[in-house]
Structure 1
């Protein structure tokens, strides 16, 4: 019994599980144990570390029983060096992961874009309300992508991509160049001639592209609402706003002139109609295909509440005003 309690052996009991905990983490990384597991990935990798540590702790007693003292001392030296190496390795990995990523302008430069035409920019800026004419088929897509031009002065567009590769491994085909105004805010310095975004009002920091499809690293966005031309963007270069969140931040909504939809007392078709006269509908909450709204008068004061159906089978049933 005294043999098991010698200082060298006690240190060995400690170094074995700690060192093999890191071995387990590296093994999990090597076999991609957490790949595609989303939130469970961290727990899976940690589980490998704990498993290896537990096995090493049990094994350390077996080794001590059948091994001479001097060999355990040598093993302690080796394990100490190994442990320091692991700590340095994971420290470097942590710093690399949390350091700023290479700037997007370090990617292969795309072909030069044309200077932004002020006439087009003024037309885009004057569209505060969604109109069904923007999309003749009224296919609403998934929501909107808005670039983070405060942190990224360039928004790159990509053509065909390999989903197995990262964004940094692809060469962009075109881009938008943003420039900061002297009085604050941003303008577009250069843009492709075909660019017609869904909404653009840069004096309010608004630039929205409709999202047609969404992938792990890329978002397919509509870059020309007239021709329905699409391009891919790095979805982490901006913000993804799905329809419910987007509609809850607009100023007001309304039915198109040819709509047969009604404001109802409850969120289903058979509910009674709300017959209060109103001027505006203010979104309050969204539940599936139904939106709860406040009814406002001309003085922008609420006079009641109701429910409207805002989409049906992927088709948008309402217009909305972003600002007023």
Structure 2
């Protein structure tokens, strides 16, 4: 199963992404506050032989509150926006629809990535269809734009403020695009709204 974020506008982008590495024995406890002694929510993974994949116990019930950045169990992807940190604790946005947050404790299964690190790992990114923007030669609205004909299927090379540096990739069309870009810039965010779709895998 797969849930992928597509430009949530009301929820903060936070400081980066927390990737939770899991197997069939992983248990993740969520707390309302770092000072709480008892967890509020618990996610338990298991090896679901009926679908030949990892699964979450009582997933239907848990999905009433659990709407993370990415939930793609077939590809072992369980990712959250990280709103803040407090010592050994991480405040995660557990519901990208309403901004609900819970806290989890750092451990060997929690991997923090900045947005730059995260986006550079993506299979591809594309511009949002409902936010028209040109590809610029430099990270500035005043910079000359690059003429591009072809499908949006870009790799992220670097990040600078609201801008990401992109290049074309053979991932989507086997290099058959009419245009090739070695370096161009698009905006990846406006405030807390993503201006791109990203794809973690093909």
- TM-score normalised to the size of structure 2? 0.81
Q: Is the 8 A contact 2:10 2:192 kept in 1?
A: no
Q: Is the aligned partner of 1:230 residue 2:107?
A: no
1:131 matched to which residue of 2? 6
Q: Determine helix, strand or coil for the equivalent of 1:224.
A: coil
2:43 matched to which residue of 1? 176
1:165 matched to which residue of 2? none
Question: Aligned partners of 2:23 and 2:201: how far apart in 1?
Answer: 21
Q: Is the 8 A contact 2:27 2:45 kept in 1?
A: yes
Question: Aligned partners of 1:239 and 1:256: how far apart in 2?
Answer: 28
Change (3 A) 1:314 1:195: closer
How far the C-alpha of 1:203 sits from its partner, in A, is: 0.8
What number of residue pairs does the alignment pair up? 191
Structure (1/2) with the larger helix percentage: 1
1:273 matched to which residue of 2? 145
Q: Is the aligned partner of 1:257 residue 2:129?
A: yes
1:143 to 1, 16, 20: 16
- TM-score normalised to the size of structure 1? 0.53
Question: Aligned partners of 1:152 and 1:294: how far apart in 2?
Answer: 40
Question: Aligned partners of 2:24 and 2:66: how far apart in 1?
Answer: 21
Q: Which runs of 5+ in 2 are unaligned?
A: none
Q: Is the aligned partner of 1:322 residue 2:200?
A: yes
Question: Aligned partners of 2:89 and 2:24: how far apart in 1?
Answer: 18
Question: Aligned partners of 1:190 and 1:155: how far apart in 2?
Answer: 14
Q: Is the 8 A contact 1:178 1:190 kept in 2?
A: no
Q: Which runs of 5+ in 1 are unaligned?
A: 1-121, 163-168
How far the C-alpha of 1:176 sits from its partner, in A, is: 0.3
Superposed CA RMSD in Å reads 2.6
1:189 to 41, 57, 76: 57
Q: Is the aligned partner of 1:307 residue 2:185?
A: yes
Question: Aligned partners of 2:197 and 2:74: how far apart in 1?
Answer: 22
Higher relative contact order structure (alpha carbons within 8 Å, sequence separation ≥ 6): 2
Structure (1/2) with the larger strand percentage: 2
Q: Is the 8 A contact 1:156 1:176 kept in 2?
A: yes
Question: Aligned partners of 2:161 and 2:66: how far apart in 1?
Answer: 32
2:157 matched to which residue of 1? 284
Question: Aligned partners of 1:157 and 1:292: how far apart in 2?
Answer: 36
How far the C-alpha of 1:313 sits from its partner, in A, is: 4.1
Bigger Rg, which one: 1
How far the C-alpha of 1:226 sits from its partner, in A, is: 2.5
